[in-house]
Structure 1
Amino acid sequence: MSHTALISSVIAVEGRSPHRSPLIFLHGLGDTGHGWATTIAAIRGPHVKVICPTAATMPVTLNAGFRMPSWFDLRTLDATGPEDEEGIIRATNLIHELIKSEIKVGIPANRILLGGFSQGGALALHAALTFPERLAGVMALSCWLPRHSHFPNEVKTPLDLPIFQAHGDCDPVVPFKWGQMTASFLKTLMKNVEFNTYQGLTHSSSDAELKDMRAFVERTLPLTTN
């Protein structure tokens, strides 16, 4: 399947200096790249290029088959329920191609940061863990690890990949417990997992979370590479 069949558009916010460090951020179900581009651009350094693709519109089982931007089909909010494994793998391959396109123009994999919110965070986490080179890191907000039963066998990245997880403890959409369980599971697989809890936060972001994200971006994509 072609990229254009899976992505409807891509918003790119160039750095104020020649960019050496792309930050690819994936939106949640029903949102667009526009929804996060300005927010993410505000927490990056001048050398970071923000890339916010918008998923193609598709029917989503969880929402009674209504069509909306979605990276893959969501069939249930039950942690042990059936998943759209084919769709998850297809979307993961797409994100891998986006990463490879940056590598082809001379950006080292360890200067590429991946992130996402909700469904986009789930995809970012899955894509980062299954990419054969070590990325700068991954920011996984208010999400879970798709196809978790296939891990650790599916892990292709080096085990020191920096993972920043964030979740509000009042999330009514992706339960906080899912984030806790995901973090606990990831810590059995990976060496560098950070889980941040935000009190009173629902299924959204906050100033406190953005502050911590900024620190993670600065830490994993420093201005100098030495």
Structure 2
Amino acid sequence: MTLHPLPHITIETGEKPAASVIWLHGLGADGHDFEPVVPQLGLPADIAVRFIFPHAPSIPVTLNGGYIMPAWYDIRQNDLGIEHDEAGIQASSAGINMLIEQEIMRGIPADRIILAGFSQGAAMALYTGLRKPSPLAGIIVLSGYLLMPEAAAEYSQASLNTPLFMAHGIDDPVVPFALGDSCARQLKAAGYQLEWHSYPMQHSVCPQEINHIGQWIAERLRAISRP
């Protein structure tokens, strides 16, 4: 099977980007979902960033009666912590890795690339980022969870040097807060550098969260800016 780069939207905040953010949408959405967030992040004007918003392929989703929709992998049960679509996860991860390699070929090293995602996209960002052989600039996990937590042995040693930003709504009825919280606790116990936030919201993002994400990205960009 020939792999092709995921279709995506690109937004550059200035000329000659010094960093890239690859942002993965949630189930049933597409790459346009988080486009409006870019100007709301309040990023420093002196560091140009390339934002890449991929579109997941449209596949039948078992949990939704087999309805075809954009999804990074099939979801088969309400309990998101069990029975994962390993083939779909690996295929999507391969597509995300192609985008990372594309950025590296364009002159953005891995340690200047941030993987971000919401919900299913957050789970994919974690799955892919924790297995990279070189540290990334960071991973942003919004209302997400660990895919196949039993496979922690697959995480690379280098990923321990990848900072994590994790956030979750305390009233989330889709991805329970407890799932995100346990994910954060597990990764902290494994030695990951992790910033954790909770917000009084459901399965969404809120202005305070966007502000915190912007601050965190700005800190990463300052740390990785060219000399």
| Shift in CA distance, 79/11, structure 1 to aligned 2, threshold 3 Å | closer
Tell me by how many angstroms 1:80 deviates: 4.3
Match of 2:176 in 1: 175
Match of 1:196 in 2: 197
Match of 2:115 in 1: 114
Which digits, 9 at most, give the CA deviation of each residue in 1:27-60, with x for residues without a partner? Answer: 0000010111121343244411110011111000
Matches of 1:79 and 1:23, distance apart in 2? 26
CA contact (8 A) 2:129 2:159 kept: no
Which digits, 9 at most, give the CA deviation of each residue in 1:166-194, with x for residues without a partner? Answer: 00000000000001110011112233011
| Shift in CA distance, 88/135, structure 1 to aligned 2, threshold 3 Å | same
Matches of 1:166 and 1:71, distance apart in 2? 20
Gaps of 5+ in 2: none
Specify the SS of the correspondent of 1:88.
helix
Match of 1:66 in 2: 67
Match of 2:206 in 1: 206
Report the AA paired with residue 214 of structure 2: R
Match of 2:163 in 1: 162
Matches of 1:45 and 1:89, distance apart in 2? 35
Matches of 1:214 and 1:105, distance apart in 2? 24
CA contact (8 A) 2:55 2:70 kept: yes
Report the AA paired with residue 219 of structure 1: E
Match of 2:27 in 1: 29
* Mean CA deviation greater in 138-147 or 75-84: 75-84
* Mean CA deviation greater in 42-51 or 25-34: 42-51
Report the AA paired with residue 121 of structure 1: A
Matches of 1:106 and 1:80, distance apart in 2? 37
Matched, 1:98 2:96: no
CA contact (8 A) 1:41 1:50 kept: no
* TM-score normalised by L of structure 1: 0.93
Specify the SS of the correspondent of 1:16.
coil
Tell me by how many angstroms 1:204 deviates: 0.3
CA RMSD after TM alignment: 1.6
* Mean CA deviation greater in 39-48 or 49-58: 39-48
| Shift in CA distance, 203/80, structure 1 to aligned 2, threshold 3 Å | closer
Tell me by how many angstroms 1:221 deviates: 1.5
Report the AA paired with residue 217 of structure 1: I
Matches of 1:118 and 1:40, distance apart in 2? 18
Gaps of 5+ in 1: none
Which digits, 9 at most, give the CA deviation of each residue in 1:186-226, with x for residues without a partner? Answer: 11223301111102x00000001001000111011227334
Matches of 2:35 and 2:3, distance apart in 1? 20
Tell me by how many angstroms 1:147 deviates: 1.1
Tell me by how many angstroms 1:10 deviates: 0.7
Pairs aligned (count):
222
Which digits, 9 at most, give the CA deviation of each residue in 1:106-148, with x for residues without a partner? Answer: 2111111110000000000111101111000000000101011
Matches of 2:169 and 2:50, distance apart in 1? 27
* TM-score normalised by L of structure 2: 0.92
Matches of 2:118 and 2:65, distance apart in 1? 22
| Shift in CA distance, 97/41, structure 1 to aligned 2, threshold 3 Å | farther
Matches of 1:183 and 1:100, distance apart in 2? 27
Report the AA paired with residue 115 of structure 2: L
